[in-house]
């Protein structure tokens, strides 16, 4: 006896959207899946509508072989950093979460980026709560003024927004450590000042570097001074 698809399942309803009339709408609809929790290198696009396929590449066979190169090809490098961060966000296991972001994307084979608002629905999570499968609907708003604005946000404004979101992930204790790092204090001195162990200080330093996606303490200090006024 064949298994029947449960059309009342909200996740199945979300997936079926790519097979209906929206298949031909001028909106990018695609589903991304990860095989390794939080690792964008394991992320690949598994389903698209016609508009998304033409935007990303030229054929389904080409899409299948792109993998991570798909994101490097069309997503602005600064927005790709935020995308990596979002894949590490945890959600209640089994929940269907919806959120909206703004990203700069460029069509396949072109050099200029366009501004998109992206509505995302988490369809499935790993056991640790990070994204496993996500549905995205991206609308081009490059030439559409946002509510209350005469123009769309500038690239600098988008960077500021993204940096603000990154800063929001840093805990109060990590911010204390960050301020002491900027002031040139060593791990042993910080441990004494904050009444914690050196190992704990090192964990906070590592966490800060991971959350900000920098490669060194010097880059972390530069980001703290430039972006957050430390």
Residue-wise pLDDT tens digits, 81-116? 888 888 877 776 555 667 788 889 999 888 899 989
Those residues with Cβ within 8 angstroms of residue 4's Cβ, 6 or more apart along the chain or in another chain: none
**pLDDT value, residue 189:** 94
| Beta carbons of 95 and 131 less than 8 angstroms apart | no
Which residue matches tokens 């508009």? 51
Altogether, the residues listed in the chain come to a count of 230
Q: Among 99-108, 136-145, 205-214, 217-226, which is the least confidently predicted range?
A: 136-145
Which domains, and CATH codes, for the chain? 10-147 (3.30.450.20), 170-228 (1.10.10.10)
**Highest mean pLDDT out of 112-126, 162-176, 193-207:** 193-207
- Banded model confidence at residue 221, pLDDT cuts 50, 70, 90: very high
Segment 144-165 mean pLDDT: 60
Structure-block tokens of residue 11:
């996740």
Q: What is the side-by-side order of every strand in the sheet holding 43-48?
A: 43-48, 28-34, 131-140, 114-125, 98-105
Per-residue pLDDT tens digits for 32-85: 999 999 888 898 888 888 888 888 887 878 887 777 787 888 898 888 888 888
Based on its alpha-carbon atoms, the radius of gyration of the chain, rounded to whole angstroms, reads 20
> HSE (CB half, 13 Å, CA atoms) of 226?
11
């Amino acid at each position: 006896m064949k298994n029947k698809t449960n059309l009342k399942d909200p996740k199945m309803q979300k997936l079926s959207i790519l097979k209906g009339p929206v298949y031909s709408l001028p909106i990018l609809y695609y589903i991304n899946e990860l095989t390794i929790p939080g690792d964008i290198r394991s992320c690949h696009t598994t389903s698209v509508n016609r508009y998304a396929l033409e935007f990303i590449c030229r054929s389904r066979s080409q899409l299948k072989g792109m993998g991570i190169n798909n994101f490097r090809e069309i997503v602005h490098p600064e927005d790709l950093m935020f995308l990596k961060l979002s894949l590490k966000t945890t959600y209640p296991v089994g929940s269907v979460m919806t959120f909206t972001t703004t990203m700069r994307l460029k069509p396949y084979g072109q050099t200029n980026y366009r501004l998109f608002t992206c509505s995302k629905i988490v369809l499935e999570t790993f056991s640790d709560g990070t994204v496993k499968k996500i549905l995205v609907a991206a609308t081009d708003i490059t030439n559409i003024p946002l509510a209350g604005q005469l123009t769309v946000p500038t690239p600098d404004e988008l960077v500021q927004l993204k940096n603000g979101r990154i800063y929001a992930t840093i805990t109060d204790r990590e911010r204390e450590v960050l301020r002491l790092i900027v002031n040139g204090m060593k791990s042993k001195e910080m441990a004494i000042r904050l009444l914690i162990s050196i190992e704990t200080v090192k964990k906070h330093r590592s966490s800060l570097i991971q959350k900000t996606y920098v490669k060194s303490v010097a880059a972390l200090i530069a980001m703290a001074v430039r972006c957050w006024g430390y």
